[in-house]
Structure 1
Amino acid sequence: MMDTKLFARGDEGEWVDLGQGNRRRVILHTDELMLVEFAFEKGGIGALHSHPHVQGSYIAEGKFEVTVGERTQVLSTGDSFIAPSGVVHGVKALEAGRLIDSFTPHRADFLK
């Protein structure tokens, strides 16, 4: 536990350019849990995909069209959703915005 980073400041973390004005940064992580911030420009797409991780997402800013499985809803600042393990999901930014995603277990593919 002593080697685990337990706190993060808002200006910490290296942004990774995902193209088309979208980017992400890992905020904190352990083997069991990861927090990641995603920033989208208006019209930005988080393409439909699935992964073995359970994902919980909080809309920190903006408005998104969110698809989880066969269901689609428009969610705004303060709303949230869960993408269960193996379920296809994705987002479209209806305006510029940010998502805070949690993953369990952590996404090793997001680490250097």
Structure 2
Amino acid sequence: MSQSNAFVNAADGQWAPTEPGVSRRIMAYLPEMMMVEVVFEAGAIGSLHSHPHIQASYVVEGRFEVTIDGVTQELAQGGSFIVKPDLIHGVKALEKGRLIDTFTPHRAEFL
């Protein structure tokens, strides 16, 4: 990565709907890592799924019911979670909210 590509303004990213009441935009990525902002309307669900990437997520705002490998916990602003590769996971927005998801390696299907 050259220094000219080292700084990214998330506002330049384009929002893409993913599920009802859920949209995401890519904030930055390299082949080894990707950061994504995801917004949820109250009650919106990020369906249970799995992928081969490691995922770390941070709750920027709102409250979420997070399920990872059959275990569910409520997280609010300032909370975070990590998902190991291939574990089934998903979230439900208990109120309007926003997550920052980081993946390693990057999610090529998001590009």
Q: TM-score range by the shorter chain?
A: over 0.9
Q: Distance in 2 between matches of 1:70 and 1:80?
A: 17
Q: CA offsets, 1:27-81, max 9 Å, x none?
A: 0000000000100000000000000000000001100000010211000001000
- Quote the residue 1:18 is aligned against: 18
User: What is the CA-CA distance between 1:22 and the residue it aligns to?
Assistant: 1.1
Gaps of 5+ in 2: none
Say which structure is richer in helix.
2
Which runs of structure 2 are paired with 1:84-95 in the superposition (5 Å)? 84-95=84-95
Q: Distance in 1 between matches of 2:78 and 2:64?
A: 11
The runs of at least 4 consecutive aligned structure 1 residues that moved more than 3 Å come to none
SS of 1:86's equivalent in the other structure is: coil
- Name the TM-score, length of structure 2 as normaliser: 0.95
- Kept after mapping to 2: 8 A contact 1:4/1:30: no
User: What is the CA-CA distance between 1:4 and the residue it aligns to?
Assistant: 7.3
Whichever residue aligns with residue 2 of structure 1, its letter is S
- Quote the residue 2:58 is aligned against: 58
User: What is the CA-CA distance between 1:17 and the residue it aligns to?
Assistant: 1.4
- Quote the residue 2:40 is aligned against: 40
Q: Distance in 1 between matches of 2:3 and 2:31?
A: 12
- Name the TM-score, length of structure 1 as normaliser: 0.94
Identity %: 52
Q: Distance in 2 between matches of 1:70 and 1:17?
A: 26
- Quote the residue 1:28 is aligned against: 28
User: What is the CA-CA distance between 1:10 and the residue it aligns to?
Assistant: 4.0
Gaps of 5+ in 1: none
Whichever residue aligns with residue 45 of structure 1, its letter is I
CA 1:4 to 1:106, structure 2 compared with 1: closer, same or farther past 3 Å? Answer: farther
